[in-house]
Structure 1
Amino acid sequence: MKKIYLLIVALSLIALVLSIIILIQKTTESKEINDFCSAIGSNSKCSTVQQSKYGKIFGIDNPWFGIIGFSVLGVLAGMNYFRKNNIRKILIIAGSIFAGLLALWFLYLQTFVLKAYCIFCVIVDILSLVILFTTIYMIFKEHNKKLKK
């Protein structure tokens, strides 16, 4: 079970770094980041996605939610790696579900509404879904362990 928490820490750290890159791109309109994003493909338009009306929730830039959320998720998983706690586990599960659902929403918006992609955003969304599936795997693994006892 410890390896699962370590995996969540690693995935959260990668998503955190990418969320910071997205925030830098969004707030500074960094030409370097935007050029990199656009070079990936014709539909890869970071600034189009970031500057859309969906780029904020309650007036707060979306990357801030990623920065805070992945930081908290990573810390909770790290703490559970060293000393398991059921309250932290529940918070990790809840955070993973929230992040996964939000990721699906953002992927839907990019694909069907904006018809443009931010490669960094897509990677963060995929990482969120991997964290969710890792958490689901953890739940089933613990459940099966209890059934065998």
Structure 2
Amino acid sequence: MNRCGMHGSTHAKKGGKFAYAWVGNSATQCPGQCAWPFQKPIVGPQIPPLVSPNGDVGIDGIIINLASVLAGTVTNPFDGGYFQGPANAPLEAVSACTGMFGSGAFPGYPGQVLLDKKTGASYNAPGVNGRKYLLPAMWDPNTSKCKTLV
């Protein structure tokens, strides 16, 4: 209950290892942290929250957390893959860019994202069948900067 999501690995009964990911319900589990920027933050600037692109703050928060955890699972599945900093406190592909969703982002401000004119929702990734998502920035090792979709 003290984090929005996590990933790790364990040994299978028949040998070998497998990676796993877990994400909590961001509507009920620390929404000011796990559903930000669609909820008012627990700390920091109290700017109005963004309108969630799918009309469900909890699900849209889960999507952000799932994208973050999946990126870490893929790039650092067994704690020996890609990360920055010390191994006991790694910054992974997305955790190095926490809270960044669009250009000009800084702590407490998600950055400039796209706006759905019909609903007022904020997003940066169009999906299938007109769905829209807000996905976090990822660390780009080629440029040594966080890269957003917009």
TM-score, reference length from structure 2? 0.32
More helix by share: 1
Between 1 and 2, higher relative CO (CA 8 Å, sep ≥ 6) is seen in: 1
Decide which structure has the larger Cα Rg and report it: 1
Structure number having the greater strand percentage? 2
